[in-house]
Amino acid sequence: MHPGKSLNGAARGFIIPIGGKENRVQNPVILRRFVKLCGGSRAHIAVIPTASSLDDTGDLYETVFRDLGADRVSILPFKSRADCESDKYLKMLDHADGVFMTGGDQVRLAEMLIDTSAADKLRRRNAHGMHVAGTSAGASAMSAAMIAGGKSGATPRAGMVDLAPGLGFISRFVIDQHFSQRDRLGRLLAAVASIPFGAGIGLDEDTAAFIGPDDTLEVVGTGSVTIIDGSNLRNSAAKPVRHDDPVGLTGVRLHILVEGNTYDLATHTLSGGILSAKSNAAGKLTAAALT
């Protein structure tokens, strides 16, 4: 489902991928905003800890969201595909204002949910206004073409990224997380080059992209969000490349955004909060668009 497309005229809920290691205690700006978006003291949030191999992940986020003022927090463990067909859990999704998918292994999460009633319910409820957030693996799994793994490095290389089907909340963007911290520019470029009309979102830790129903992305958090616009991307290689060879790409547009910056995903244009290097007296570039 493409961001902004809703059913029967309803406004789609926000889609909120988070780059991992979000601040949960000292200054939980991202999670506090998510709770407020879901209704604040009236919010019912459903937590899906399926990506995690730890037994207490769901309980941890239940405590965090209750401390932030949510009225009700439900855990949807989805430990088997049979759980994804459970009327009990599907009814919880019917009444949730927001869903939060934890970190862990995005392949585990996607393989558990894809082609189940729970996945269908998540997409339909989001299309009718329920907000969906995910951190780390939970963020990667949001896209239709999901980054399942790959290698670090700034230069895209043949075979550098592994793609797999994701949950499909976003269809024309691939999402990567822990982006700057784990040096993942090359693999995101390789992923964008692998999908038709592709574009990519790279999320630093403790940084989120709040994607509204109007296709506007707003950056919230302490790091940056890297947008790769591959709509005019071309492979510049003069001959076929072998595995691990560098891949030449031209026509790539790169945007680096920080908190408060906004970006229109439909038109691939910056839409607010941009300072030029010349206008910043401190000499720090807060956002850049490189062509």
Query: Which structure tokens are listed for 132?
Result: 């969906």
pLDDT-wise least confident of 32-41, 124-133, 154-163, 190-199: 190-199
Please state, for a pLDDT cut of 90, what percent of the chain lies above it: 83
pLDDT at 7: 45
Q: What band does 287 get if pLDDT is binned at 50, 70 and 90?
A: very low
| pLDDT reading at 288 higher than 70 | no
Confidence at residue 282, expressed as pLDDT on a 0 to 100 scale: 35
Query: What is the per-residue pLDDT for 207?
Result: 98
pLDDT band at 261 (very low <50, low <70, confident <90, very high): very high
Give the pLDDT confidence score for residue 125 in this predicted structure: 98
**Residue 223: pLDDT above 50?**
yes
Q: Annotated active-site positions, please?
A: 136, 178, 205
Higher pLDDT among residues 273 and 186, named by residue: 186
pLDDT at 196: 78
Nearest to 172 by CA among 255, 265, 67: 265
- pLDDT, average across residues 13-22: 98
| Percentage of residues of the chain with pLDDT beyond 70 | 89
**Would you say residue 22 has pLDDT above 70?**
yes
Q: Delineate the domains of the chain, giving CATH numbers in brackets.
A: 15-290 (3.40.50.880)
User: Is the pLDDT score of 255 beyond 80?
Assistant: yes
| Chain centre to alpha carbon of residue 92 | 23
For the segment 204-217, the average pLDDT, to the nearest whole number, is 97
Q: In the prediction, which pLDDT does 9 show?
A: 60
**Region 9-37: what's the mean pLDDT?**
95
> What is the pLDDT, as a whole number, of residue 29?
98
Whether the pLDDT of residue 289 is over 60: the answer is no
- Does pTM surpass 0.85? yes
Instruction: Report the candidate in 76, 69, 85 with the shortest Cα–Cα distance to residue 138.
Output: 76
Q: Give me the pLDDT at residue 234, please.
A: 86
